[in-house]
Structure 1
Amino acid sequence: MDNDGTHGAWGTRGAQPPAGGPARPGNSVPHPAGPPPAAPPSYPPTVPPPARPPSVPASPARYQAPDAPAPTADWFNAPRPEAGPGVWRYGYVPRPAEREERPSLVGPAATLILWLLLWLLLNQRAVPYVYKPIEIITGPEWWSFGGLREGAPALVVNSTTLYYEVLVLVLGFWAARIGGWAHVVRYFAGPRLDRARLGLSAAVALLVLWLAWTPKVPLLLVLMGSADGWLRSGDQLKATVAAYSCYALTIAIVVWPIARFARWGDALREFRARRGPARPPGAQAPSTAPERPGTAPAQEAGPLRAHWPKLRAAGRTDAAEALTAAVYTGRMNDVDCVRLSHAWNAARTSHDRLSSFTETVLRKGPDAFLHPSGLRDVPLRTATHDPLTGQVRIGDCADDPRNPYPRRGSGMALEPSSLGTSLLAVGPPGSGKTDRVIRPVVEALALRALTGQAAVLAVGGAGGALGPDDAYDVVVRIGDPASLYDFDLYGGTTDPDEAAAALAEGLAGDIPTLDTRRATTALGQLLGPFHAVRGRFPSVPELRELLEGSATALGALREALETGGHQTMLRELEARARQSGSAADPGAVLADRIAALDRPAFAGFFATGEDARPFSLRSLGRHPLRVRVDLPERVHAEASRILARLVLAQFNAVTAARTDRSLFVCLVLDDATHTVTAETVRGIRRLRSVNAGAVLALRTLDDVPEGLHTALLGAFGCTMAFPGLTTWDGKRFAEAWGKEWVEVREVAQHGVFADQPLTRAMHALRKMATGKAVTTDAVTVRQVERERWSASGLAYELPPGHAVLSLTTVAGEHMPPLLVRLSG
C-alpha cells in the first residue's frame, strides 16, 4: 500500500505473523500497533511545552502572525551558538569574564597626595629651574629672580600660565601611571567600562574646550597671540583664516588626544556595525541579553528557522509557507521540525527527490516523512532535550575551583558527536548512573531515531529502568513467554565463520585461559556443516549436543553431508571429531557455557527454524529503530552475562560491516559487568570511524580483567566517574586524565634577628604582645605539574548527585574532566 511518504519512508514493509501462531513479527522492520497520534505528544515545558495533549483531536488550524509565535516556534528560532564540547547550546550565553580582586586604594591615594604636593610646590615656585625652559622660549628680558616682570606682554603671561598647567597635567599623568589609577577605574566600572570611558571622555573634552575659550586655560589666547600679525594686518581674509585656524587647532589639540585615549574610533565602528544594513523581512534583530529562568532565549540574528529559509532559497516557497503555518499554529512539535529538516537535507541531493519532498509536504504537512512507527515523540521525557542539536542536558558544571571559570554554571550535555567516541560510566549502585545518565541518553537517541538520524539498542535488566515499552519499536524480553520478539544468537548472518566469531566471543570471551580463536574454529567446524545441510544454524539444544560430541547428532550430520556431497564440510566435521575430547579441546567449555542458555525458562527462545521470530541486530544498520533487550539478570545471571557479551560482539560486527553509515547507531549497556573482553575493546575503538558508539556502565573497574583497565579507558573517548569509587579505580581515572600545569604559591617564615639594642627591645615587646616570634615571609611562586583529579579526590571528595566527566568528540575536540552537578 502506498502511504504517500507519511510513514515507512525508509522502504520497509510490515511484519507478517507466522502460520498457525499469534501475530508475531519476523525479520522485517517492526511497526508498533495502533495508528499514529493525532497531535504531537507532550514533553517537558523547558524545551518547549506541547501545543496540546496527544489525546485531544486536532482543531482547525488558524495561522498566527509571527509577532505572537507558538512555543515550538520560540524553541526553533532560539539561538544555539557554537561552543566547546559538552556545552548545552540552547540559549547559551558565555559567562562574563572573571572579575579581578579588589585593588588596594593605598597606592592611588599616596600618588594623589604626592601629585597635590608637587602641584603646591610648583605653585609656590619652590622647585628650582622648572620654569627655565619657558624663560628661554619667551626671552630672559621679561624675567627677574625666577618670576615675570611687571608689564610683561600678554603673550608671555599666557604662555607661562599654559606651560605651568601643562606641567601640572604631565605630573598628574605620571602619578596616575605609577599609582595604577586606570586599574582602579576598570575594576569599579566593570562591564560598563566602555560606556563610562566614552561618557567621561566626552565630558572632559567639553570641559577643557570651555576652559580653553577662557583665560583660565589660555590655549586659544596663546594661539591668537602667535597669529597676531595676521589678525591685525587689516586684511579681512587673512584675519578670518587666522581666527578659524586658531579655533580648529584649539579643538584638535584638546579633542584628538582625548578621543585617541578613549577609543572613540572603536566606539564609532561598533555603533555602525550594530546598526548594520537593513534586515530582510522575517529577520530578527540580535540580542545580547542573557537567558533568564522562566523565559525563552532571545532569537538569533538572520532569517528565522521557523520560516524555513533554506526551502525559500531553493525556490520551494509553497512548501515553506505550509510548514511555517504549521509551526506557528502549533501543529508541529520539536521532533517534527527536526525530522522535516533532515528530510529536506536528504532530498537536496537529487532533483527528483526535491519534487517528491515538495509534493509530500504540500499534501501531508507536518505528517510527512514520519518514522516507520508513525510516532512523533516519546511517551515520556525525564530529561531536557534539544532535538535540533541532538543534545540532552544531564546537569550543570559545578561552581567549584577545580572547574575552569568560563565553564562554571554552564549546562552540561551529551550529544552524538561525543557519544561517537563512546562513553564509560563507572560508579557503585545508587550513584545515579542509570537514572541521571543512561536513561536520558537513551531518550535522546530515541528522539534522534524518530527524526530518522539514529538507531539505538538499549540492553538492561527487566524492570523498566530504561523507559516504558511504548518508547521502543522492539522490546525483546528474553525468558518471558509473552515477548513478541526473540533474539538471534547468530546476528542475522549466513556466514558460518562470522557467526562463530561472535558466538565464541559471547560464550568464552571472558575466560583468560581459552583462546577465542580456537573457540571460533571449533564452532565454525560445526556451524558450517550444519548450515550446509539444513540451510539454517542449529538451535541451542542442537548446538549443545554437537559441542558435547553426541555420537547420534554427529552421526546424523555426517550422514547428511555424505548424502548431499558436501565433501569440504565433511572434512570440517571430521577435524572437529578428531579434536573432540583432547586436552586442548574448547568444546567442553563451550558446551558448559551453552548449557546456561539451554534451560526450561528459555524454551522456545533462540529458535532458528521457519517458525522462529528472532530480531536481528543487522536491522539497526538499515533502519532508525529503537530497540530494548531485557536480560533475566536476577534469575539467570550467567546467561545474562553471556547474552550481554554476545550483543556487544554482534554490535561491533554489524556496525563495522554496514556500507551505509548515514545513521548514527549506538549501543547502551546498563550493566557491563563481566562483558568487556580484549576483542570487544578493540571493536569499541573502531566505532568512531563507522558513525557508531557505545555507552557502558560499570559498578567498578574490577568487573573488567585487570589487564584490560588501561586499554578500556583508552578506548573510550568519554569517561565518567561517580561518587563512591574506590581509590584503586580513582587511580586509573587519574592516570587516564593526565596532568596539567598549575601555579603553586609557597610561603616560608624566617626568623628575624636584630643587632641593635633598640630593635631587640622592639622585637621583645612585639613578642610579648602577640605571643609569636618576629618573622618575615618568603613567598615562592612556581609552575608544577599535577594530576587534574587525584585518586583520593575522586574517592572521597565527590559530593552526592555529582560526577566527574571528561569528553572527546569525533572531530578530536577535548573537554578536561569537570565536576558536574547531575540533574534529577
Structure 2
Amino acid sequence: MELNDARTRHAQPHLPPPRPPFHLPTWATAPRPDAPPGVYRQHHTPYDAGKAEAAETPAGPLLLRAVLNLAVGLFVYLEGVSLLQGLLSALGLTVTSSFAVSLLIAAAVNVAVLALVLMVFGRMGRWAEVWRRWIAPVLSRTVTEVPPEPEAAPVVDIWAELRPAGEAVRRLEGGEPVGDVDYVRLHQAWRTVGADPAAWQEFTAQLAGRGPAACAHPSEQRDLPGGRAGRHDLMVRQVRLGTAQDVVKNPATHRNAGFALDPRVLGTSLLAVGPAGTGKTAALARPVAEALCLQALAGAACAVVVGAADADLGPDDWYDVVIAPGDPSAPYGLDLYGAAPNPDEAAARLTDALLPDELAPRAESARTAMQQVVGPYRAGYGRYPAVRALRALLAGDRDGWAELAERLQKAGRRAEFEADLQQRERMHGRADDPGALLADRLALLDRPALAAGFSGGPDAKPAFAMRALEHPLRVRVKLPERSHPEAARMLSRLLLGQFVQAAADRTDRELFAGLVLDDATAAVDAQAIRGIQRLRGANAGTVLVLRTLSDLPEALRAPLFGAVGNRMAFPGIAPWDGKLFSEAWGTHLVRETAVTHTPDTSGGTVRRAGRLLRKALSGTTAQTESVTTRDVERHRWSPSDLAHALPSGHAVVSLTSVTGEQVPPLLVDLRH
C-alpha cells in the first residue's frame, strides 16, 4: 500500500528549487549532527522517538482522553479535599486558635490532593502532550510580549585551525572568493604539514603568495568546469542522491531524511542492479563520479571512472587523464601491466583479463604460459612487452625468441630463465598450447585502431598505470563497446583487476581510492571478487553497475553479494534477480491480525429459535468473530515487490559502513 502511495505522491514531475549563492561562512558553520550511515548530515534533524510517537497519536482520541481525565480529576479533587478535611477534623488536627495555622493546613490539603490528581490523571490523560501540541502554540500567538534586544550574532572564526600559520591566513579574508573545495583542500593540506618545519614554511609561503589558490590540485582547477549537477557537502565528503521515503518499510531514523553516500559507506563497495533506462548512470554513477572528482580536487581522493564512450559520466574537463582506446584524439593510453613491480603478478592479471568465463578451466596453464614470456622479456629488455611483441612470442615466433635469448645472454640471466625458454619451446605448435590461445585473444587488442592506446611501440601514447592511485588523480576510461565489444570486455576485466590489486597494495592510504564501473557485467570474476573483499581495510571501494545478474555465471552471483557491503535494486529488475536481493536482506517480524467468522451455536432453545427466524427473514446466518494476532517472519522486500512494485525514479538500497554499521533496505526517491 505504501508503495502505491509513494507512486501517487510523486507522479508529478519535480523541479528542484534554485540553489542560493554559495556563502562560505554559512556553509562552514552549518549544523552537521552525527547520523547513521546514508543520512545527509547537513541541516539534518536527528530522529526523536518521543516526538515521533506523539505526532503519530490521532488528535481526536488524545483530546477525548484528556477531557475525560480532566472531568474525573476535578471530581476526585473536590471530593478528595472534602474527604481529607473531614478526616483531619475527626482526628482533631484542625482544631486551633490561630487562623493562619488553619489557613495553612487547608492550603496544604488542597496542594496535596491537587498534586496527586495531576500526577495520576495528568499522566493518563497526557495533558503535557496536549499542552505542547495545542495550548502552548495558541498562547504564543495571543500573548504579546516585548521582545528582548537582539543579541549580536556569534562570530565564528572559520579559519581558526589555520591561524598558527601566521599572517598569511589574512589572504583568505581579503575578499577573494573562496569555495568549498578551497576550504577543504587548505585544511587537508594543513593537516598533512604536521610538525615538519620545511612543510610548514612551504605551506605559509604558498598561502601568502596565492591565497585561496594555494596548494591547488596539479590541474590548477578549484572546481569542476561547467558546474555541478549533484548536491555535495565536502566538509563530510557526502553526495546527496535523493530522499528516503516516509513508509513503514524504512527505518524511522531515515524517514524523510536526505540519502547520501560517503567514503565510509563506499569503502565496503556498492553493487547496483537494474535494467537500462532506470537511472543507474544518471542517478548513481555520475553523481558518485562527480563527488570523487571534487574530493580529488580537495586532495582527499583519487577517482577511476570506467564506462562506454557514450556514457554520461561527466565531460572530459572533469578528468586529468582520459583514456579512449580506438580514439586517435585521446591524449593517454593504458599500461596493460599496471606498472606492477612483480612480472608474475602482472602476467597473471593480464591473463585473467584476456580469458572469458567459458575458458576459465584453462586459466592456470594460461597464467603459467604468460609468466614464461613476460618474466624473461622484462629481464632481457628492462620493460614489459608491447601487445604485438607479446602476441608474437606467445604464438612461437622463432626470430622473437632468438632475440630474447640473446638479450638474456647479454644481461647474464639466461640460466635463470632457461627452464621457461625450454618449456615454451616444447609447447610451440602443440594443440594444447595455451600460448596460442592467449595469442588469439591478444589479437583482439592488436588492432590498428587500438595499438596506440597501449604501452609499448614508437607511436604509443603516454600510458596511465594503476599504480598511480597514491596521487589525487581523476581518470576516465572510455571503452570501445560499439566498435570493439570483446576488447572492451577484456579491458573492463583488466581495469577492475588492476584497481583492486593496486588499491590494496598502496603504502600510503591517506587518499580514498574509488572506482566507478558503469557496466561491470564482463568485469566480475572470482579474482576480482576476492580483491573487492580486501578493499574494506585499504580506504578504497568500487561502485559496480549491472543490468542483470543473469549475465554473470551462477557460481559468482552469491559470492559477489557477499563481497559488497551495499546493495541497490532499481525498478524493473527480474524476479530471479530480486530473489537474490530478498535473500540477502533477510526477514523481519511482522504483526499479523487474522479475523475468523464461525456460525453461532451458543445458547439454549430460545436463542437457537431466534437465530433460525433471523436466517429465514434476512437470509444471513448469525456468526461469531474471533481475532488472532501473532508475529510472523516476512521478507523485508519480496522478489515480487522489487520486480513489480517499485515506483519509477526510486530504488531500494541497503548500506554497510567500514566500521560494521548496517542500515536495512531503504526505499529512496532518487529524483530529489
Give the TM-score category using the shorter length. Answer: 0.7 to 0.9
What is the Cα deviation at residue 355 of structure 1?
5.1
Partner residue of 1:457? 304
2:169 and 2:207 in contact (8 A); partners too = no
| Cα deviation 1:15-60 (Å, max 9, x = unaligned) | xxxxxxxxxxxxxxxxxxxxxxxxxxxxx99796446xxxxxxxxx
Q: State yes or no: 1:658 paired with 2:613.
A: no
Partner residue of 1:82? 34
CA distance in 2, matches of 1:637, 1:668: 19
2:251 and 2:664 in contact (8 A); partners too = no
Letter of the 2:640 counterpart: S
Kindly tell me: are residues 260 and 359 of structure 1, through their superposed partners in 2, closer, same or farther at Cα, counting changes over 3 Å?
A: farther
Residue correspondence of structure 1 range 416-427 to structure 2 within 5 A: 416-427=263-274
1:617 and 1:654 in contact (8 A); partners too = no
1:426 and 1:722 in contact (8 A); partners too = yes
Moved more, 517-526 or 359-368: 359-368
Partner residue of 1:475? 322
| Cα deviation 1:568-594 (Å, max 9, x = unaligned) | 123322122223344543212211111
What is the Cα deviation at residue 72 of structure 1?
2.6
What is the Cα deviation at residue 348 of structure 1?
3.8
Moved more, 220-229 or 86-95: 220-229
**Alignment equivalent of 1:388, drawn from 235, 240, 253:** 235
| Cα deviation 1:169-225 (Å, max 9, x = unaligned) | 4xxxxxxxxxxxxxxxxxxxxxxxxxxxxxxxxxxxxxxxxxx9xx99969996998
Kindly tell me: are residues 668 and 562 of structure 1, through their superposed partners in 2, closer, same or farther at Cα, counting changes over 3 Å?
A: same
Letter of the 1:483 counterpart: A
Moved more, 689-698 or 562-571: 562-571
Kindly tell me: are residues 248 and 752 of structure 1, through their superposed partners in 2, closer, same or farther at Cα, counting changes over 3 Å?
A: closer
Partner residue of 2:161? 310
2:387 and 2:442 in contact (8 A); partners too = yes
Partner residue of 1:546? 393
Partner residue of 1:364? 210
1:424 and 1:697 in contact (8 A); partners too = yes
Residue correspondence of structure 1 range 438-449 to structure 2 within 5 A: 438-449=285-296
CA distance in 2, matches of 1:342, 1:599: 44
Equivalenced residue count is 623
| Cα deviation 1:679-703 (Å, max 9, x = unaligned) | 1100011111111001111111112
Letter of the 1:555 counterpart: A
What is the Cα deviation at residue 472 of structure 1?
0.7
1:514 and 1:586 in contact (8 A); partners too = no
1:428 and 1:724 in contact (8 A); partners too = yes
Letter of the 1:82 counterpart: D
Kindly tell me: are residues 488 and 46 of structure 1, through their superposed partners in 2, closer, same or farther at Cα, counting changes over 3 Å?
A: farther
Partner residue of 1:576? 424
CA distance in 1, matches of 2:532, 2:70: 70
CA distance in 1, matches of 2:628, 2:87: 56
Partner residue of 1:253? 112
Partner residue of 1:168? 79
Letter of the 2:32 counterpart: R
| Cα deviation 1:74-124 (Å, max 9, x = unaligned) | 2221111111111111111145514035675999699889969x98xxxxx
1:453 and 1:664 in contact (8 A); partners too = yes
Residue correspondence of structure 1 range 494-643 to structure 2 within 5 A: 494-508=341-355, 510-566=357-413, 567-609=415-457, 612-618=460-466, 620-643=468-491
User: Unmatched 5+ residue regions in structure 2?
Assistant: 1-14, 124-152
SS of the counterpart of 1:572?
helix
1:421 and 1:687 in contact (8 A); partners too = yes
CA distance in 2, matches of 1:684, 1:520: 21
| Cα deviation 1:626-660 (Å, max 9, x = unaligned) | 11000100110000000111111111121121100
User: Unmatched 5+ residue regions in structure 1?
Assistant: 1-43, 52-70, 120-164, 170-211, 232-238, 264-301
SS of the counterpart of 2:594?
strand
1:50 and 1:333 in contact (8 A); partners too = no
Partner residue of 1:721? 569
**Alignment equivalent of 1:100, drawn from 50, 53, 57:** 57
Kindly tell me: are residues 574 and 306 of structure 1, through their superposed partners in 2, closer, same or farther at Cα, counting changes over 3 Å?
A: farther
The sequence identity of aligned pairs, in percent, is 45
Kindly tell me: are residues 226 and 658 of structure 1, through their superposed partners in 2, closer, same or farther at Cα, counting changes over 3 Å?
A: same
Kindly tell me: are residues 364 and 108 of structure 1, through their superposed partners in 2, closer, same or farther at Cα, counting changes over 3 Å?
A: closer
Kindly tell me: are residues 412 and 115 of structure 1, through their superposed partners in 2, closer, same or farther at Cα, counting changes over 3 Å?
A: closer
CA distance in 2, matches of 1:624, 1:47: 31
Letter of the 2:218 counterpart: P
Kindly tell me: are residues 767 and 475 of structure 1, through their superposed partners in 2, closer, same or farther at Cα, counting changes over 3 Å?
A: farther
Residue correspondence of structure 1 range 283-302 to structure 2 within 5 A: none
Residue correspondence of structure 1 range 330-341 to structure 2 within 5 A: 331-341=177-187
SS of the counterpart of 2:272?
strand
What is the Cα deviation at residue 620 of structure 1?
3.6
CA RMSD of aligned residues (A): 3.6
CA distance in 1, matches of 2:420, 2:62: 91
SS of the counterpart of 1:666?
strand
2:338 and 2:467 in contact (8 A); partners too = no
Partner residue of 1:434? 281
CA distance in 2, matches of 1:224, 1:244: 17
The two structures have a TM-score, normalised by structure 2, of: 0.84
Kindly tell me: are residues 666 and 798 of structure 1, through their superposed partners in 2, closer, same or farther at Cα, counting changes over 3 Å?
A: same
2:321 and 2:476 in contact (8 A); partners too = yes
Letter of the 1:786 counterpart: R
CA distance in 1, matches of 2:268, 2:369: 34
Partner residue of 1:175? none
**Alignment equivalent of 2:643, drawn from 795, 801, 804:** 795
Kindly tell me: are residues 505 and 777 of structure 1, through their superposed partners in 2, closer, same or farther at Cα, counting changes over 3 Å?
A: same
1:47 and 1:75 in contact (8 A); partners too = no
Kindly tell me: are residues 113 and 413 of structure 1, through their superposed partners in 2, closer, same or farther at Cα, counting changes over 3 Å?
A: closer
Partner residue of 1:673? 521
Letter of the 1:592 counterpart: D
**Alignment equivalent of 2:624, drawn from 776, 779, 789:** 776
Structure with higher Rg: it is 1
**Alignment equivalent of 2:530, drawn from 675, 678, 682:** 682
CA distance in 2, matches of 1:363, 1:109: 69
2:217 and 2:297 in contact (8 A); partners too = yes
2:96 and 2:102 in contact (8 A); partners too = no
CA distance in 2, matches of 1:303, 1:513: 66
2:302 and 2:511 in contact (8 A); partners too = yes
Kindly tell me: are residues 75 and 771 of structure 1, through their superposed partners in 2, closer, same or farther at Cα, counting changes over 3 Å?
A: farther
Letter of the 1:341 counterpart: H
SS of the counterpart of 2:52?
coil
Q: Which has the higher contact order (CA 8 A, sep 6+)?
A: 2
The two structures have a TM-score, normalised by structure 1, of: 0.69
| Cα deviation 1:420-471 (Å, max 9, x = unaligned) | 0001111111111001100000001111111100000000111251000111
Q: State yes or no: 1:91 paired with 2:43.
A: yes
CA distance in 2, matches of 1:780, 1:769: 32
What is the Cα deviation at residue 310 of structure 1?
3.3
1:460 and 1:629 in contact (8 A); partners too = yes
Kindly tell me: are residues 229 and 445 of structure 1, through their superposed partners in 2, closer, same or farther at Cα, counting changes over 3 Å?
A: same
CA distance in 2, matches of 1:528, 1:79: 56
**Alignment equivalent of 2:580, drawn from 732, 739, 743:** 732
Partner residue of 1:209? none
Kindly tell me: are residues 318 and 219 of structure 1, through their superposed partners in 2, closer, same or farther at Cα, counting changes over 3 Å?
A: farther
What is the Cα deviation at residue 346 of structure 1?
2.3
1:385 and 1:392 in contact (8 A); partners too = yes
Letter of the 2:385 counterpart: P
1:455 and 1:620 in contact (8 A); partners too = no
1:649 and 1:680 in contact (8 A); partners too = yes
Q: State yes or no: 1:644 paired with 2:492.
A: yes
Kindly tell me: are residues 498 and 109 of structure 1, through their superposed partners in 2, closer, same or farther at Cα, counting changes over 3 Å?
A: closer
Letter of the 2:29 counterpart: N
Q: State yes or no: 1:343 paired with 2:189.
A: yes
Kindly tell me: are residues 457 and 772 of structure 1, through their superposed partners in 2, closer, same or farther at Cα, counting changes over 3 Å?
A: farther
